[in-house]
Structure 1
Amino acid sequence: MVEPRLATVLNVNDDDANRYLVNRILEMAGYHVIEAATGMAALLLAEQHRPDVIVLDVKLPDISGYEVCARLRANPDTASIAVMHTSATFVTSDKKARGLDAGADAYLTQPFESSELIATVRSLLRLRHAEQAARRRADELAEMDRRKDEFLAMLAHELRNPLAAIMTSIGILERKPTDDTKEARMRGIIHRQTNHLARLVDDLLDVSRITRGKVELRSGRLDLRAVLLQVVQVIRPITEARGLGLEVSMPEGPLVLTGDATRLEQVFTNLLDNAAKYTDSGHISLRVEREGVDGTAQAVVRVRDTGIGIPQDVLPRIFDLFAQADTSLERTRGGLGIGLTLVRQLVHLHGGQVQAVSPGSGRGSEFVVRLPLLHANEVALAPPVNTVSRSGRRILLVEDNPDARQAMRELLELWGHDVEVAPDGLQGVELAVRKPPELALVDIGLPGLDGYRVARELRTRIGHDIRLVAITGYGGPEGHDRALAAGFDLHIVKPVKPDELDRLLSNL
């Protein structure tokens, strides 16, 4: 059996008699003792031996004990060593305070009883051991958090590949009208549930990034009305499928603010989707108003429903992670309980506020979002991008997932494009060099040569006569920035909705 290591104490005192006495007391108590007579010698020994405790006299011949303690704390290698100041002179409260401010953990005045010295050393050792355990636990938690983030990123990538194939395939089917009402209904179910799965994957990753403060907004000037109209187009089929009415009221003039359009869509999609999820019958209303005057104006968006409401005991924590109004065992409403946490964080990142109001269970609820608007005289919105015909482009698709590759190829060919495909990065580069396309859609997680290296190769060998778009299952600002640095023009995350792909091709 391995014997436990003796705790090491560094005893620093220029008085030989005092130093010898303290050494004997500590050795008799079972501690391993090393000694120093000057401050500089103490600093050197502390860095070499890393003692558990330093018994440090305040008055030394070269530098004071206060200075020694300050230097110990400033050095990362010695900062965690417990330090006990001692003094053979009358010690006033201000001197004790000075020692503690310099970083000392305890202060004893000589002469002191041996029992008092040993008890103080034991106390400091307990404190040091507790700090070491807490530090180890913090390191373990940080490592677990890192592994969790890696797992979530890989999980998202693996889920987004099949989602991309499903979403593209249903996009192809929906472009072929059918007279079979049952088939049309099944298409609608597949479309809605695929979108729902994609939102769950995005929410899961976003809440991980937000809790670590790693979400960055890609802000620009935008009209909030345009964002909300886009959200309504997404939500209306969901409300219609549930037999719910959807009332929309917006002001005539623009509501110009600085924000991230994608993130704001996420906010209001979550709120309206929640309203539909928790409303069995009745209606949902989206009411938008402009309040205040220029300089202090704000957009006020109210999402109200006639649903199950929010109990008064749940209301104060409705925005907390994993909080849900429906806490029954049946969990008929579904969801992860993270949507409203994302809403609150994203609204706050936009300088706004969100509030939940409900009279109680069974009486509906209302969520109110307030966002600051720009002054009317500030820079106008950028003009819309002029779209060009997307027909007849030469497109290279580099995708290793066979189902996603086949579905995307058929959709692009259905739109009239000339499409070549490659299952890996090496073949993708060879095809592009042999017959340069106008546009390359490149997956990032490719075998052999990943998407970043494909982009760098194509920029080196073909130049900027080709547009490069990264289509990847890895989301987040890190992936976006790395893609642009590698030479991509755009970075989009799977699954790509057919309508979004259509707009992308038109704008390119």
Structure 2
Amino acid sequence: MVEPRQATVLNVNDDDANRYLVNRLLSLAGYNVLEAATGMAALLLAQQHRPDVVILDVKLPDISGYEVCERLRADPHTASMAVLHTSATFVTSDKKVRGLEGGADAYLTQPFEGAELVATVKSLLRLRHAEQVARHRANELAEMDRRKDEFLAMLGHELRNPLAAIMTAIGILERRPAGDDKDARMRGIIQRQATHLARLVDDLLDVSRITRDKVELRPGRVDLVPVLRQVLQVMQPLAESRGLGLDVTLPSGPLWLRADATRLEQIFTNLLDNALKYTDAGRVRLHVEQEGVDGSAQAVVRVQDSGIGIPPEVLPHIFELFAQADTSLERTRGGLGIGLTLVRKLVQLHGGEVTARSDGPGHGSEFVVKLPLDPTLGAPAPARNAVDLRRARRVLVVEDNPDARQAMRDLLELWGHQVTVAPDGLQGVALAVSQPPELALVDIGLPGLDGYRVAQTLRAQVGNGIRLVAMTGYGDPEGRDQALRAGFDRHLIKPVKPDELDRILSEL
């Protein structure tokens, strides 16, 4: 803390005798003392010398001590000074309340003993020191949190780049017949594990967004049934590989929601993955139905398993960050302990609720998600003719990762497109200007000229006739907004699934 001989006290009082007496008491106690007789002089001295403590009489000839205190608190340069109000007359409780609410730290009424004054100043200095330590620690933690976010963003980018090449290569292999059963099994293993790794990367990066309450939705008209079918396409092979049954009951009609389809997929992928992960034998059931009608209609999704169950003491905390039902099995079961926290957050953002139930260890568990339906949403417009969607196009791929660049080229050529490639932004712009493509897939993290500047340059030199799609390993929402401002038509986060890429190409 600030020692007496290091501490500076500003004594503000228009009474010469009182001011002199307080000055002497403080000087004898070892403090460096400044003095002022008016409120404006006190504010000037506070700005110039930044005292540790201000002893402030409430009645001054120009402005009141209350107003001086409020001005000190309003100025960031003086806001942290300790303020001790004094008064030579009896002060009612409402005046004391006004002073304390205005920012004063303590109140003394004259006459007071010198020892009481010095002890109060010492107490305020201890308080100020504690606040300074806490503020410094808070600033350090904020800086550490900022660096952590930067590291996670960079980690996600570096992990997604190789994953992009792997996923694209898998997409090419899937379109060719397997040589034998073993070949087919190996492809399935690569597909499942790459998908699992991509999901872990997404969940890891969402930790930071959860803790900072930065998880965002991009809602649109969504039929929940096709979303669940898409999730099941990934989960069914995983269930088969673990020797588990996966029973599914879906409604015959659509379940229309105002929702973010990607986040819905994330919700139910996490729930089904958890159910399969914690079930050694038996079955996992997915049951979907509609409850209620009109304004009270909601989709109810139940994920039930016959797995290890959840202990009753863990159940109330199962949705908390890093909570796991059995920490002794943590490494054998895998996972980061953040999936259910993300599920709850995403369900709540959609206006729904999620609950968990279990009869205890060995009795399985059930998770129930309820999401509000929007009966005003109609069926989407009819899809365009499939022949039109798959017409051959001139496509430029700008990607600095050689494996990802080659894999993307092979996949696009397999679909019948005419493809040119560039390893950096400068060459990409040169190719696009000399041989304008119909569509360009541009990585954001390019050397020399980044993807944003590539888009801006192409919009300026080639115009709006070219369709631009950003591909990036950075998954933050700000990146998407920046991409659209730079001139991109779409923003894709790596690794891009071949089916998703095919759909985007068809829509543009």
Structure 2, gaps ≥5 residues long = none
Point out the more displaced range, 209-218 or 443-452: 209-218
Structure 1 match to 2:472? 472
**1:420, 1:326 → 2: CA distance?**
52
The structure 2 residue matched to 1:383, chosen from 381, 384, 395, is 381
Structure 1 residues 388-419: Cα deviation after superposition (integer angstroms, max 9, x where no partner)? 33242111100000111111111111121111
Please give the residue correspondences for 1:368-447 in structure 2 after superposition, counting only pairs within 5 Å: 368-374=368-374, 376=375, 378-383=376-381, 385-386=383-384, 388-447=388-447
Q: Is 2:214 the partner of 1:211?
A: no
Higher deviation after alignment, 456-465 or 96-105? 96-105
Among the aligned pairs, what percent are the same residue? 77
Match runs of 1:291-302 below 5 Å: 291-302=291-302
| 1:144-169 deviation per Cα after TM superposition (whole angstroms, max 9, x unaligned) | 11111111111111111111111111
Distance (whole Å) between structure 1 residues aligned to residue 121 and residue 460 of structure 2: 66
3-state SS of the aligned residue for 1:66?
A: helix
Distance between the aligned counterparts of 1:337 and 1:465, measured in 2? 46
Q: What's 2:499 paired with?
A: 499
Q: Distance in 2 between matches of 1:173 and 1:397?
A: 20
Cross-structure match for 1:237? 237
TM-score, structure 2 normalization: 0.97
* Conserved? CA contact 1:399–1:423, under 8 Å: yes
**1:22, distance to aligned residue in structure 2 (A):** 0.3
In the alignment, is the contact (CA less than 8 A) between 2:5 and 2:31 conserved in 1? no
Range with bigger deviation, 176-185 or 106-115: 176-185
Q: Cα offset for 1:7?
A: 0.6
The answer on whether the counterparts of 1:222 and 1:259 sit within 8 Å (CA) in structure 2 is: yes
Alignment partner, residue 453 of structure 2: 453
Shift of 1:329: 5.7
**Does the alignment pair 1:95 with 2:106?**
no
**8 Å contact from structure 1 (residues 289, 299) kept in 2:** yes
Match of 2:132 in 1: 132
2:328 is paired with a residue whose SS is coil
Tell me the distance in 1 between the aligned counterparts of 2:255 and 2:415.
Answer: 35
1:349 corresponding residue in structure 2: 349
C-alpha deviation, 1:19, in angstroms: 0.2
Deviation, 1:238, is 1.1
In the aligned structure 1, how far is the partner of 2:254 from the partner of 2:496? 29
Question: Structure 1 residues 385-394 or 285-294, which shifts more?
Answer: 385-394
Partner of 1:29: 29
Q: Is the 8 A contact 1:391 1:415 kept in 2?
A: no
DSSP 3-state at the match of 1:300: strand
Deviates further, 282-291 or 103-112: 282-291
* 1:381 positional shift: 4.4
Measured after TM superposition, the shift of residue 4 of structure 1 is 9.1
Decide which moves more: 259-268 or 326-335: 326-335
- Residue 50 in 1 paired to residue 50 in 2? yes
Amino acid at match of 2:37: A
Contact 2:287 2:301 in 1 (8 A): yes
**Aligned ranges 1:12-27 → 2 under 5 Å:** 12-27=12-27
Distance 1:345 1:128 in 2: 38
Q: Secondary structure at the match of 2:108?
A: strand
Q: 3-state DSSP class of the match of 1:328? A: helix
Moved more, 10-19 or 387-396: 387-396
Cα deviation, residue 226, structure 1: 2.1
- CA shift, 1:326, in A, is 2.9
**Secondary structure, in 3 states, of the residue corresponding to 1:395?**
strand
Q: Give structure 1 stretches of 5+ with no counterpart.
A: none
Summarize deviations over 1:281-317 as a string: whole Å, max 9, x none.
1111111122223212221111101111111111111
Aligned mates of 2:5, 2:355 — CA distance in 1: 57
- Residue type of the alignment partner of 2:327: T
Q: Match for 1:277: what amino acid?
A: K
Partner of 1:142: 142
1:201-280 equivalences under 5 Å are 201-280=201-280
Measured in 1, the distance between the counterparts of 2:329 and 2:182 equals 32
Aligned match of 1:367: 367
1:379–1:493 distance in 2 versus 1, CA, 3 Å: same
The 8 Å contact of residues 275 and 304 in structure 1, kept in 2 or not, is answered as: yes
Change (3 A) 1:68 1:114: same
What is the CA–CA distance in structure 1 between the aligned matches of 2:404 and 2:7, rounded to whole Å?
Answer: 62
Displacement of 1:354 in angstroms is: 0.8
Q: How do 1:117-128 residues align onto structure 2 when only pairs under 5 Å count?
A: 117-128=117-128
Matched with 1:154 is 154
Measured against aligned partners, the alpha-carbon deviations of 1:73-110 in whole angstroms (never above 9, x if no partner) come to 12222111110001111122222212111111100011
The code of the aligned residue for 2:168 comes to T
Contact 1:326 1:333 in 2 (8 A): no
Range 49-58 or range 238-247, more displaced: 238-247
Instruction: Give the residue type in structure 2 aligned to 1:410.
Output: D
Code of the residue aligned with 2:145 in structure 1: it is D
TM-score (norm 1): 0.97
SS at structure 2 position matched to 1:246: strand
Cα distance change, pair 275–329 in 1 and its aligned pair in 2 (3 A): closer
Aligned-partner SS, 2:143: helix
Could you tell me how far 1:361 is from its partner in structure 2?
A: 0.7
Equivalent residue of 2:389, what SS?
A: coil
CA RMSD of aligned residues (A): 1.5
How far apart in 2 are the matches of 1:500 and 1:197?
18
What SS is found at the alignment partner of 2:332?
Answer: coil
1:486 correspondence with 2:486 = yes
Residues 406-439 of structure 1, C-alpha deviation per residue, up to 9 Å, x if partnerless? 1111111112111111000000011111111111
Cα offsets for 1:455-488 (capped at 9, x unmatched)? 0111111111111001111112111000000000
Give the AA of the match of 1:242.
R
CA distance in 1 between partners of 2:262 and 2:244 (Å): 26
Q: Give the match's secondary structure for 1:193.
A: helix
Q: Which residue of 1 aligns with 2:315?
A: 315
> Structure 2: how far apart are the matches of 1:128 and 1:136?
12
| Counterpart position of 1:85 | 85
- Does 2:46 match 1:59? no
Counterpart contact for 2:4–2:31, Cα < 8 Å: no
Structure 1 residue 384, shift from structure 2 partner:
5.0
Q: Which amino acid is the alignment partner of residue 120 of structure 1?
A: T
Cα distance in 2 for partners of 1:390, 1:36 equals 82
Counterpart code for 1:383: A
Aligned to 1:41: 41
Where 2:60 maps in the other structure, the secondary structure is: coil
Instruction: Tell me the alpha carbon deviations over residues 443-463 of structure 1, each in whole angstroms, 9 at most, x when there is no partner.
Output: 001111100011011111111
Taking the aligned partners of 2:166 and 2:83, their CA distance within structure 1 comes to: 64
CA distance in 2, matches of 1:184, 1:329: 31
Query: Retained in 2: the 8 A contact 1:396–1:419?
Result: yes
Runs of 4+ aligned structure 1 residues displaced above 4 Å come to none
* Distance in 2 between residues matched to 1:423 and 1:321, nearest whole Å: 41
Cα displacement string for residues 127-152 of structure 1 (whole angstroms, at most 9, x for unaligned residues): 11111111111111111111111111
The code of the aligned residue for 1:166 comes to I
Number of residue equivalences: 504
* Distance of 1:146 and 1:491 partners within structure 2: 24
How many angstroms does 1:252 deviate by?
A: 3.1
> Is contact 1:222-1:381 (8 Å) kept?
no
CA contact 2:4–2:30 (8 Å) conserved in 1: no
